[in-house]
């Protein structure tokens, strides 16, 4: 999936996160800011990377501002932001878990 425009998903509320997605040529950059980075940083990074891989995202800038979200919320917010940024009308539902 190709990111063609900037998009957001989520909030800064407790137990949520804000995901910002922007196009970037040639590389995939993921930046994670979290209140619980010391305890759950690796898990957050793994969920974000697995979600991006499932969606076929290989280029772009992804910024995650986490406020203690669960894995299912992280996955949903990343999916929403990427789908908005790809500006696609065709959603391959089997790729979304």
* pLDDT tens figures, 23-53: 998 899 999 999 999 999 999 999 999 999 9
Tell whether pTM > 0.85: yes
More confidently predicted of 97 and 67 = 67
Number of structural domains in the chain:
1
Within-domain flag for 97 = no
pLDDT at 6: 97
What is the average pLDDT value for the chain, to the nearest integer? 92
Within-domain flag for 39 = yes
pLDDT at 26: 87
The angle, 0 to 180 degrees and rounded to 10, between the axes of the packed helices 37-55 and 71-86 is 40
Within-domain flag for 47 = yes
State how far the Cα of 59 lies from the Cα of 41, in Å rounded to an integer.
22
Within-domain flag for 50 = yes
- Res. 60 pLDDT band, cuts 50 70 90: very high
- CATH code at position 65: 3.30.230.10
- Structural domain including 34 reads 7-88
What is the token pair recorded at 19? Answer: 């995901």
What is the token pair recorded at 46? Answer: 């793994």
């Amino acid at each position: 999936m190709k990111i063609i425009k900037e998009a957001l998903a989520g909030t800064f509320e407790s137990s949520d996160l804000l995901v910002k997605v922007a196009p970037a040529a040639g590389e995939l950059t993921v930046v994670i800011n979290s209140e619980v980075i010391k305890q759950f940083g690796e898990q957050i990074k793994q969920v974000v990377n697995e979600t991006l891989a499932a969606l076929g995202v290989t280029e772009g800038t992804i910024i995650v501002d986490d406020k203690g979200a669960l894995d299912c919320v992280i996955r949903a917010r990343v999916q929403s932001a990427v789908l908005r940024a790809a500006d696609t009308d065709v959603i391959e539902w089997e790729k979304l878990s």
